[in-house]
Amino acid sequence: MQVLGHLTPSTTEFRMLQNRKSAVNFCLVLIVLLGAFLRIHTATNSVVDAPLRADAGQYYSYAYNLRFNGVYSHEFWTRSNNPEYTPSADAVRSPGYPLFLLAFVEKSPSLKGILQINLAQAALGILSLFLVFGIARKILPGAWSLAPTFLTAISPQLVNVETYILSESLFGFLLLLAVYVCTRYKSEDRSSSTLIVAGFLFGIATLVRPTTQYFLPVLLLYVALASRRQLQWQHYAAIACAFILPSALWMLRNLITLGITSDPTLTINTLVHGHYPGMMYNADPATLGYPYRFDPKIQELSSSVSSALSGIWERVVDQPAQYLQWYLLGKPVEFLSWSDASADQGFFIYPALQSPYLSSKFFIFSYVLMRHTHWIWVALAILASLYLLLKFCKQSNVINATSVLLAFVFIYFIGIHSVGFPIARYNTPILALVFILAFVFLYQLTEKIKSQSATSLEAGIVQK
- Cα dist from 208 to 10, 169, 211, whole Å: 51, 10, 9
State the pLDDT at residue 238.
Answer: 96
Please say whether the beta carbons of 413 and 386 come within 8 A: no
State the pLDDT at residue 459.
Answer: 62
| Spatial separation of the C-alpha atoms in residues 34 and 125, rounded to whole Å | 12
User: For residue 264, which of 94, 415, 72, 95 has the smallest C-alpha distance?
Assistant: 94
One-letter amino acid at 404 equals V
Tens of pLDDT, residue by residue, the chain (464 residues): 344 444 455 677 667 777 788 899 999 999 999 999 999 999 999 999 999 999 999 999 999 999 999 999 999 877 756 677 789 999 999 999 999 999 999 998 999 999 999 999 999 999 999 999 999 999 999 899 999 999 999 999 999 999 999 999 999 999 999 999 999 988 767 778 999 999 999 999 999 999 999 999 999 999 998 887 788 899 999 999 999 999 999 999 999 999 999 999 999 999 999 999 999 999 899 898 889 999 999 999 999 999 999 999 999 999 999 999 999 999 999 999 999 888 888 899 999 999 999 999 999 999 999 999 999 999 999 999 999 998 888 876 667 889 999 999 999 999 999 999 999 999 999 999 999 999 999 999 999 898 777 666 666 665 65
State the pLDDT at residue 143.
Answer: 93
- Cα dist from 362 to 38, 129, 291, 331, whole Å: 10, 20, 36, 33
Please say whether the beta carbons of 172 and 432 come within 8 A: yes
- Cα dist from 205 to 218, 247, 364, whole Å: 15, 10, 32
The DSSP H or E segment spanning 361 is helix 361-394
Q: How many Cα atoms sit within 13 Å of 334 on the Cβ side?
A: 29
Residue 201's CB is within 10 A of a number of other CB atoms, namely 23
State the pLDDT at residue 413.
Answer: 98
User: For residue 330, which of 409, 424, 444 has the smallest C-alpha distance?
Assistant: 424
Distance of CA 20 to the CA centre of its chain: 31
